[in-house]
Amino acid sequence: MAVADMIPGLDDKALANLRENAARLSLTGSEAQKKQAATLTPLIDAELASRLAAKAKPARGGKRKAAVTATAAPGPLSGPLSS
């Protein structure tokens, strides 16, 4: 199985590690490693962006709780009119 095919199945930590390795190899690797890193980097970045967007979306579903508003109950009168 090609590395590109494994990207969606990687957990977040493994994906971050793969991204770091691709960045490193794009600078210091052999020509073949640089070429593969150049191919994989946009795929990894797209997967990371997709996961980040999925985490940023608010959870949908379920019922919303109604907002509770407090109203002051009338209390005993005090002052000059009460006797």
- The predicted-structure confidence for 50-60, as pLDDT tens digits, reads as follows 999 999 877 66
With beta carbons less than 8 A apart as the criterion, state whether 45 and 19 touch. Answer: yes
Specify if 29 maps to a domain: yes
What's residue 31's pLDDT?
98
Which of 12, 16, 41, 14 minimizes the C-alpha distance to 26? 41
CB proximity list for 38: less than 8 A, separation 6 or greater: 26
Return the axis-axis angle of helices 12-28 and 31-56, rounded to nearest 10°.
150
Specify if 20 maps to a domain: yes
Specify if 51 maps to a domain: yes
Specify if 37 maps to a domain: yes
Residue 32 reports pLDDT greater than 60:
yes
With beta carbons less than 8 A apart as the criterion, state whether 44 and 18 touch. Answer: yes
Residue 2 reports pLDDT greater than 80:
yes
Specify if 70 maps to a domain: no
Report the number of distinct structural domains present in the chain. Answer: 1
What's residue 73's pLDDT?
61
Domain that holds residue 36: 3-56
Question: Averaged over 72-77, what is the pLDDT?
Answer: 62
Strand boundaries in the chain, DSSP class E: none
pTM of the model: 0.67
